[in-house]
Structure 1
């Protein structure tokens, strides 16, 4: 469970870094760009993927390319959601995006629907609607109630990304670590193209500080993945424990940090939504 704890802490730290970056007026888009070189180097160094012409001949480059385009865009949306909707709502939306992949498992991957898991999804849908709901009028960010759109984008975006990664994993001729490296390499290329547009097209100022912030972000982002993978290896017979610990842990720690460190305001309905989110994860894992 120590690996699960480390993964939870690293996951929430990513959100905290993006939140603090705005406070210190560092361009989060550029931070996200510089996260990818770190992800590539860490994947190469820690996971040691197999890289041979035979392996690469069978690689699903169409899926790699799709993920390479989606990942930087979803990451930018994550930063915007954390800024405007807050860490609590964003973490709930990101964690409950598992419902998208769970439904896809029934519809696309041939898994048999289970009534208990479907009930968990139903509870989770109510939970996410309650947790991201906003009263009409201005909030503490000076924006109107349509801010809930940011967590909705995160919910569907990360759900789609998870489905694509599951499809990548089905290509058993290519080791998953190799696929991860290819996705990060291509995503880094897309991110640098966007950075070039950001600087030259949109006339944004290049930020040296963003390089440092991006390296730190990339380190924690990769550590989250690494510890999560090691948690599954350490508990091969108890995947539900890892699944539950990760998702409930991130929701709970994100809520504590959002409320007490950043003074995010939650309504009574929002709090009910967070509780329902936790219940839904437990139902999916154990019923």
Structure 2
């Protein structure tokens, strides 16, 4: 599960970057756009995927959908972190494990076992107790950001699992196509904003995007690598990654950014650790 751990670290560093964007008045959307050509170049140079095989229409459709979701979810993750903090955003983002775990049982025909169900149950309880600010106030538009992150991330997780099962293309080739599509869509969006007079280019946003791109690529790559290794038990990867990001993200938010943690939150984090152990044990028992 070393790949899951690396993916967790990369994901938390991405969250830290978003938190710092607000502190240093950096345009988050510009950084998001510049992160994708960085990720595309990084992916191509490091893995040198074979791009001689052209995707079929179905694969192009899947790539476009994933690219659009990546840009959109990244935008709302940035908004959520800036307004609600790393802890709440991590919980909202990783609570989406409900969606892919159910898909593992319903779509990918994984057989649920007692130990996995116990681990998942503890994980969900842990997430509930990890809520830092109580119930969402949906009358405030700011509180819609975590909900959008929850739904979008869950759907993206399912699509990425489909991505790892493509037979004609390697996953690194698929990543290059997706990052290139996201780059094109992102820069088209910036051009539209420029011609509308709403865009003021920031060099620091471009540089921040390069850093973001490296860790964004890392989180996605190692996540997919873990899914490939544990292809018969995707729920273990889903749950370990999601709960792990909550724990590490919460610690970062509390220690570095002074976000609050109640006694119930602490209890929830302990349950999360137990759930991770159970889910990993279920993979070998």
Kindly report the root-mean-square deviation, in angstroms, between the aligned alpha carbons of the 2 structures. 3.4
Change beyond 3 A, Cα 1:271–1:81: farther
Q: Which residue of 1 aligns with 2:212?
A: 217
Q: Which residue of 2 aligns with 1:129?
A: 128
Tell me the alpha carbon deviations over residues 190-211 of structure 1, each in whole angstroms, 9 at most, x when there is no partner: 2122222344447142222211
Q: Which residue of 2 aligns with 1:254?
A: 249
Which segment drifts farther, 150-159 or 181-190? Answer: 150-159
* Distance (whole Å) between structure 2 residues aligned to residue 230 and residue 62 of structure 1: 22
Tell me the alpha carbon deviations over residues 18-49 of structure 1, each in whole angstroms, 9 at most, x when there is no partner: 10111011111111110001011011111211
Q: Tell me the SS of whatever aligns to 1:132.
A: coil
Q: 1:159 Cα deviation (Å)? A: 1.4
Q: Which runs of 5+ in 2 are unaligned?
A: none
Tell me the alpha carbon deviations over residues 157-190 of structure 1, each in whole angstroms, 9 at most, x when there is no partner: 1111110011122221221111111111111122
Q: How does 1:1-287 map to 2 (within 5 A)?
A: 6-53=6-53, 55-57=54-56, 60-132=59-131, 134-135=133-134, 148-201=143-196, 203-226=198-221, 246-247=241-242, 249-287=244-282
* Distance (whole Å) between structure 1 residues aligned to residue 264 and residue 7 of structure 2: 29
* Distance (whole Å) between structure 1 residues aligned to residue 241 and residue 22 of structure 2: 26
Conserved 8 A contact 2:97-2:242: no
Change beyond 3 A, Cα 1:117–1:233: closer
Conserved 8 A contact 1:127-1:272: yes
Change beyond 3 A, Cα 1:227–1:153: same
* Distance (whole Å) between structure 1 residues aligned to residue 42 and residue 188 of structure 2: 22
Q: Which runs of 5+ in 1 are unaligned?
A: none
Q: Tell me the SS of whatever aligns to 2:198.
A: coil
Conserved 8 A contact 1:15-1:87: yes
Change beyond 3 A, Cα 1:49–1:234: same
Change beyond 3 A, Cα 1:69–1:235: closer
Which segment drifts farther, 25-34 or 218-227? Answer: 218-227
* Distance (whole Å) between structure 1 residues aligned to residue 190 and residue 167 of structure 2: 34
Change beyond 3 A, Cα 1:172–1:231: closer
Which segment drifts farther, 157-166 or 115-124? Answer: 115-124
Change beyond 3 A, Cα 1:206–1:117: same
* Distance (whole Å) between structure 1 residues aligned to residue 102 and residue 267 of structure 2: 24
- The number of residue pairs the alignment matches comes to 282
* Distance (whole Å) between structure 2 residues aligned to residue 269 and residue 197 of structure 1: 46
Conserved 8 A contact 2:130-2:264: yes
